[in-house]
Amino acid sequence: MNFKKTLLALAITAVSSTAALADIKIGVSLALTGPGSGLGIPMQNQFKLFPQTIGGEKVQLIVLDDGTDPGKGAANARRFVTEDKVDLIIGSCITAVAAAMTDIAAEAGTVQLAGSPVGVPPGKDKWMFRLPQSNTVMGYAVVESMKKQGIKTIGFLGYTDAYGEQWLKEIGPLLDKAGIKIVATERFARTDTSVTPQALKITSANPDAVLVVASGSGAAMPQLGLIERGYKGKIYQTHAAATMDLMRVGGKAVEGTYVVSGPVIAPDQLPDNHPSKKVAQDFVAKYDKVYGAGSHNQFAGHAYDAQVALEKAIPMALKKAKSGTPEFRAALRDSLETMGRTTFAHGIMNWTAADHWGYTMETGVMTKVVDGKFKVE
């Protein structure tokens, strides 16, 4: 009798283990507090709308706050792969934090969908795919706009961290090719509350335009500093600033600012033949219905695109292996590399084994802040 009970217990355990393996676990690390919270919270909001099942399997999201801190992001990634044993990691929305997670995900053979444009040495991104456009892709749209405006000189005012440095590195060749010269380069930390010295130096150089490289609500502060110091030229902001926080914090000081973004920022203004218009409109309609008209932004759109990608790649991977296994994680990576051209809210994505960025140079959309709203140029 005891032997039969033991067999029954083992059978129940086996069934439970099988059920547990059927769940697809996704670890999500976002800046829900700290300077990057204006990016992380909209992504979290979109993940609250995530489907409960994909490919017939239950999906479990484990969302953790990384506090805009690379160390905490690394700790979250370590927990995901050792304790939670996730099939996939999404995050972070902050470049420096996502970079701190990359080696951990790779060592565990776990795909990382980065919510920020992380630049790593060649070969280091075998397990990491980017949801945002590269700084080169967005920089292309910025430089094309500058050429149209007849701009010949610019000042650079950007973060001291990886996001700022990558922008400076990647836009440099584009500016050189366009004959546009950087006449002042200044940096500041995400936690700084003033850029007065930097703004004075840039203003004294009197460039035709200034490129501010910052994110979320933090992007308004340096622009306010420039305006207060009397700068009268044009100001450009990157896609990390494509949120309503820019206008909420900056007010009238950001009127007329040029902001590069993905198509999601104002899909109704896109031409009908734009490939992402319908998908971007679907994202905006669903997000704004829950969180309020005009509340969508660039980063919530990346979370939406993560769902689009996984709804295509996960069923492909499930044909090769069962979730919860190393084989499934490898199959998921292979599926993302081979799923082909996929319409995202942010553009046409085509990841390959040789390219984990995926977007073409025509993806960026240039907008201008007019009456407190983004207007597509």
Q: What CATH code is carried by the domain that includes residue 173?
A: 3.40.50.2300
Tell me, what's the pLDDT at 275?
A: 92
**Do 156 and 128 fall within a single domain?**
no
The secondary element (H helix, E strand) that includes residue 366 is strand 365-370
Q: What is the pTM of this model?
A: 0.86
**Do 87 and 191 fall within a single domain?**
no
Which bin fits 34, alpha (ψ -120 to 50), beta or left (φ > 0)?
Answer: left
**Do 256 and 151 fall within a single domain?**
yes
**Do 252 and 213 fall within a single domain?**
yes
**Do 141 and 229 fall within a single domain?**
yes
Torsion of CA 229, 235, 238, 244, to 10 degrees: 80
One-letter amino acid for residue 349 of the chain: M
Cα–Cα distance for residue pair 241/236, rounded to 1 Å = 10
**Do 31 and 140 fall within a single domain?**
no
**Do 156 and 92 fall within a single domain?**
no
3-state secondary structure of 297: coil
In a domain, 65, yes or no: yes
In a domain, 81, yes or no: yes
In a domain, 280, yes or no: no
The secondary element (H helix, E strand) that includes residue 53 is strand 53-54
Per-residue DSSP letters for 88-157? EEEE-SSHHHHHHHHHHHHHTT-EEEESS-----TTTTTTEEESSPPHHHHHHHHHHHHHHTT--EEEEE
**Cβ burial, residue 140 (10 Å; 0-12/13-18/19+):** buried
**Do 104 and 160 fall within a single domain?**
no
Which bin fits 109, alpha (ψ -120 to 50), beta or left (φ > 0)?
Answer: left
Cis peptide bond prior to 335, omega within 30° of 0: no
**Do 84 and 198 fall within a single domain?**
no
With contact defined as beta carbons under 8 Å apart, do 130 and 117 qualify?
yes
In a domain, 368, yes or no: no
In a domain, 122, yes or no: yes
**How many independent structural domains does the chain possess?**
2
Cα–Cα distance for residue pair 118/131, rounded to 1 Å = 10
Tell me, what's the pLDDT at 14?
A: 38
Tell me, what's the pLDDT at 19?
A: 41
Tell me, what's the pLDDT at 22?
A: 57
In a domain, 246, yes or no: yes
**Do 195 and 249 fall within a single domain?**
yes
In a domain, 370, yes or no: no
Q: Which residues of the chain have pLDDT under 70?
A: 1-22
In a domain, 163, yes or no: yes
**Do 210 and 226 fall within a single domain?**
yes
Tell me, what's the pLDDT at 334?
A: 98
3-state secondary structure of 347: strand
- Rounded to 5 degrees, φ, ψ at 160 are -75, -15
Cα–Cα distance for residue pair 264/171, rounded to 1 Å = 23
**Do 116 and 35 fall within a single domain?**
yes
- The partner residues of 155 in beta bridges, in order of sequence, read 184, 210
Tell me, what's the pLDDT at 11?
A: 40
Tell me, what's the pLDDT at 362?
A: 84
Domain of residue 178, residue span = 135-261
Tell me, what's the pLDDT at 15?
A: 40
